[in-house]
C-alpha cells in the first residue's frame, strides 16, 4: 500500500516536468515565428522603399506587415525604422517576446534588411 502513494508522487513530478518542457518548446516556436515575421516585414519594407528611395514607403510597408503578422503583447513591443545609407535603404526592427518559463529571460529579436535604391529616371 505504501508504494502506491510513492508512484503517484513520481507521476505528478514527471507530469510537471513534461508540462514545463512542452511550454518551453512552444515558447521557442513563438520566438521563431516572431523572428520570421520581423524578417519578412523588414525585407518587404526595404524592397518597397528601394523602388522610389522613400523612407516613408519603407516604414509604411514594415508597419503594415508587422500589424498583420504580430498582434497582442508581442506586437506592442515592436520598434522599427528605415533610413537611407548611400545607395541603400536600410530597415531595422526589433521585438521582445516574453519568456513563458522562469528559467529564461525575455527574448529580444533585433534584425535588419537592406536593398539597393533603384530610382528610374
- d(C-alpha 90, C-alpha 111), whole Å: 11
Model pLDDT for residues 67-104, shown as the tens digit of each residue: 999 988 888 999 999 999 889 999 999 999 999 988 88
Per-residue model confidence (pLDDT) at position 103: 82
Domain boundaries, the chain: 2-116
Angle at the Cα of 108 from the Cα atoms of 106 and 112, rounded to 5 degrees:
170
pTM value is: 0.83
Confidence of residue 121 (pLDDT cuts 50, 70, 90): low
Model pLDDT for residues 16-46, shown as the tens digit of each residue: 999 999 999 999 999 999 999 999 999 999 9
Beta strands of the chain (E only): which ranges? 79-85, 88-97, 107-116
Amino acid at each position: 500500500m505504501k508504494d502506491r502513494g510513492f508512484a503517484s508522487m513520481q507521476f505528478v513530478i514527471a507530469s510537471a516536468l513534461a508540462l514545463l518542457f512542452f511550454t518551453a518548446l512552444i515558447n521557442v516556436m513563438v520566438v521563431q515565428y516572431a523572428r520570421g515575421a520581423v524578417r519578412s516585414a523588414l525585407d518587404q519594407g526595404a524592397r518597397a522603399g528601394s523602388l522610389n528611395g522613400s523612407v516613408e514607403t519603407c516604414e509604411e510597408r514594415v508597419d503594415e506587415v508587422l500589424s498583420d503578422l504580430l498582434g497582442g503583447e508581442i506586437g506592442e513591443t515592436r520598434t522599427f525604422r528605415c533610413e537611407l545609407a548611400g545607395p541603400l535603404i536600410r530597415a531595422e526592427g526589433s521585438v521582445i517576446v516574453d519568456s513563458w518559463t522562469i528559467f529564461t529571460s525575455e527574448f529580444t529579436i533585433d534584425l535588419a534588411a537592406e536593398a539597393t535604391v533603384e530610382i528610374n529616371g
